[in-house]
Each structure stands twice: as structure tokens, then as C-alpha cells.
Amino acid sequence: MRAVLSIGSNMDDRRRLLRTVYDDFRDELVAASQVYSTPPWGVTDQDEFLNAVLIVEVNATPLELLRRGQALEDAAERVRVRRWGPRTLDVDVVQIDGLTSDDPVLTLPHPHAHHRGFVLVPWLDADPAAELDGTPVAELLTRLGEAEIAAITPVMGFDNL
């Protein structure tokens, strides 16, 4: 199954932490965005994030994919103290082959992705024809504020990470 993963970090060695996810999915990688510097979303009194999107083709169930991402978060010693707060590593399953699910363990597509420039900008970079729930990601970006989009800046590709 093909899945879109949004990854981010704003603590510790952010580049190394993103690289752990990239390396873990290297053999299943279809496309990867550049790495972007992004302002915090939701809770703004924290450091900027590094964010990227990976598009992967995996032989796993959706829950197995979620658990794999959570295992990478655990290996990065992720602690969930505050919703939308600082984190060593975040691995979100954004979309899987157009599947929909309202399961609170794994809601698909990700219920907030269409509002988050830090997901949409890298996703469009990785796949210019990307769609979220039938709507082109490029169109979803036009619904966000220009200031939000302008604050999301490319830093480097994974080759330089």
C-alpha cells in the first residue's frame, strides 16, 4: 500500500532524527520532499520544526504502519507532555491509498492535514499531483494564509541531511 508520512522534529538533533525515519523507510521510499524549516503550529512558544514528507510503498496494514512510526518515535525518546508541544520526533500517517477511517487510533486521512502548511508544502514538493481526500494539495494550499506558507522554507534535501 502507498502511504504519505509527515515527519517532524523540533528538539535535540532534528536532522539526525528525521534521517532515522528516512533510513528506516529507504527501501520502500517512492518520493521524499526537501526538509523544511517551519514555525510551530498550535502551540507557538517553542522552537521551529524541521518537517518533511515521505511517500512510501509498504507491505503492512495501516495499524502496522502506525506502530512502525510510533516505534521510531519511541526510539527517539518521544514524550507526549503537551498537545502540539515540542517533540523529538513526530511520524504521522497522513493518507494511505485513499482509505478512510474514523477509528480514533488511526483516523484517515489525517483529520488536520488540510489545515497544516507544514504538511501540505512538503507533500506538494514530493508529489506535485498529490490529492488529499479528492482535493488537489495545491488547491488546499491556496486556502491557507500567504504568511503561513511564506514562513515554510526549504532547508536541504535528505542527501545533505
pLDDT, one tens digit for every residue, the chain (161 residues): 999 999 999 988 999 999 999 999 999 999 999 999 999 877 676 788 899 999 999 999 999 999 999 999 999 987 766 666 678 899 999 999 989 999 999 999 999 999 999 999 999 999 999 999 999 999 999 999 898 899 999 998 887 76
- Write the DSSP string, the chain: -EEEEEEEE-SSSHHHHHHHHHHHTGGGEEEE--EEEE--SS--SSPPEEEEEEEEE-SS-HHHHHHHHHHHHHHTT----STT---S-EEEEEEETT--EE-SSSEES-TTGGG-HHHHHHHHHH-TT-EETTEEHHHHHHTS-HHHHHT-EEEE-GGG-
Q: What is the pLDDT of residue 11?
A: 87
b/e code 103-125 from CB counts within 10 Å (16+ = b)? eeebebbbeebbebbbbbbbbbb
The C-alpha cell that represents 116 in the structure block: 497544516
Cα 21 from Cα 147, distance rounded (Å)? 29
Query: Cell match 520532499: residue?
Result: 33
Q: What pTM does this model have?
A: 0.93
- Residue closest to 89 by CA, chosen among 6, 1, 2, 4: 6
Distances (CA, A) of 159 to 22, 29, 34, 143: 10, 14, 9, 31
Domains, the chain, in order of start with CATH, read: 2-160 (3.30.70.560)
